């Protein structure tokens, strides 16, 4: 994987960071945007009529996301990353615990009250193709939230669509095309434009580059970093790929079987994760022996 070889962020070897951390740019934004307090989510599964058993998808997780940071959520498949993301956005309601967005308790909001907070936080999926209506052009797909949620009308809609497409690196002519006419990387740009159309402060990106070729992955990750800087966005990036997480995240949270085992600064996680499982996860790169980051051998 090229991201590992290229050492693209200039992370120092052996824990000495040569990285120009983005924290200096974020000094003014030290507040907590999103917080989970002792959040648990149980699902009933495996049969009807009371025969099922409970799956604890998220187990007593507490987490505070700071304004302007990129928080990476890693863990093996089934560890609860997506469920936690959906709980944080209140796409699911927690079984126990509470969720706070920009200081407000949103744990049990419904209907209009929930719709009012939704634009502030958006989710971007692995392949936005699945969330884009195949029969709507990109212009229609982006125009809909502009009209319905932001209340734009007339020429203002077209102007804003063109601006959003430009922001994510797509031409104005893209708006007349259907999702199937785009490549994977372009579709991820469309998905981002649609998410940004609601002017969110926080994006949860669930495996945003996992379906993409490596070179395209880097383009999308760089775009995400540029957008974050320009728009003062906060990111939660869910990924099973530690190269992606090392590339872009400020802090990393490790999930296992629904629990948040460890939260560490990125450099610390890469060089000396404190938990055995975090170490195992870090070392479980597919290319045995290849440096995770230039100059740093994988055990």
Size, binding site for ligand ADP by CB under 6 A: 12
Whether the Cβ atoms of residue 245 and residue 239 lie closer than 8 Å to each other = yes
Rule CB under 6 A: is residue 82 a binding residue for ligand ADP? yes
Nearest residue to Mg ion, by Cβ distance, number only: 82
Nearer to ligand ADP, 61 or 138 (CB): 61
Nearer to ligand ADP, 200 or 253 (CB): 253
Per-residue binder mask for ligand ADP (CB under 6 A), 17-56, x = binder: --------------------------x-x---------x-
Q: Does the protein bind ligand ADP through residue 169 (CB under 6 A)? A: no
How is residue 220 written in tokens?
A: 């999308």
241: nearest Cα among 230, 249, 233: 249
Query: Could you tell me which stretch among 56-64, 76-84, 123-131, 246-254 binds Mg ion (CB under 5 A)?
Result: 76-84
Residue 77 binds ligand ADP (CB under 6 A): yes
Query: Residue 81 interacts with ligand ADP (CB under 6 A)?
Result: yes
Q: Which does 176 bind (CB under 5 to 8 A by kind): Mg ion, ligand ADP, none?
A: none
Closer residue to Mg ion, CB minimum distance, 82 or 107: 82
As given in the structure block, the two tokens for residue 124 are 């971007």
Of 68, 80, 139, 184, the one binding ligand ADP by CB under 6 A: 80
Find the part of the chain contacting ligand ADP (CB under 6 A) among 76-84, 186-194, 211-219, 273-281: 76-84
- Asked if 239 touches Mg ion (CB under 5 A), the answer is no
User: Does 78 contact ligand ADP by CB under 6 A?
Assistant: yes
Counting contacts by CB under 5 A, is residue 82 touching Mg ion?
Answer: yes
135 binds ligand ADP (CB under 6 A): no
Residues interacting with ligand ADP, by CB under 6 A?
43, 45, 55, 57, 75, 77-83
């Amino acid at each position: 994987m090229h991201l590992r070889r290229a050492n693209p962020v200039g992370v120092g070897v052996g824990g000495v960071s040569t990285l120009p951390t983005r924290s200096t740019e974020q000094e003014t934004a030290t507040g907590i945007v999103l917080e989970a307090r002792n959040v648990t989510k149980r699902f009933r599964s495996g049969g009807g009529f009371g025969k099922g058993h409970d799956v604890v998808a998220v187990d007593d997780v507490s987490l505070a996301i700071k304004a302007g940071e990129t928080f990476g959520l890693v863990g093996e498949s089934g560890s609860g990353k997506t469920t936690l993301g959906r709980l944080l956005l209140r796409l699911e309601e927690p079984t126990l615990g509470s969720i706070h967005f920009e200081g407000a308790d949103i744990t049990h909001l419904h209907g209009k009250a929930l719709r009012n907070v939704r634009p502030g936080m958006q989710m971007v999926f692995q392949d936005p193709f699945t969330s884009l209506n195949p029969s709507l052009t990109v212009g229609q797909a982006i125009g809909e939230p502009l009209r319905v949620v932001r209340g734009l009308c007339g020429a203002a809609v077209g102007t804003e669509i063109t601006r959003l497409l430009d922001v994510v690196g797509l031409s104005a002519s893209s708006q007349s095309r259907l999702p199937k006419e785009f490549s994977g990387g372009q579709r991820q740009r469309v998905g981002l434009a649609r998410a940004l159309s609601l002017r969110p402060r926080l994006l949860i990106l669930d495996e945003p580059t996992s379906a993409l070729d490596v070179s395209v992955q880097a383009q999308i990750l760089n775009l995400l970093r540029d957008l974050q800087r320009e728009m003062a966005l906060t990111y939660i990036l869910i990924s099973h790929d530690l190269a992606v997480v090392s590339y872009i995240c400020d802090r990393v949270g490790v999930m296992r079987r629904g629990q948040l085992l460890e939260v560490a600064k990125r450099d610390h996680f890469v060089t000396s994760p404190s938990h055995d499982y975090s170490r195992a996860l870090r070392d479980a790169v597919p290319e045995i022996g290849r440096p995770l980051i230039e100059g740093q051998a994988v055990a």
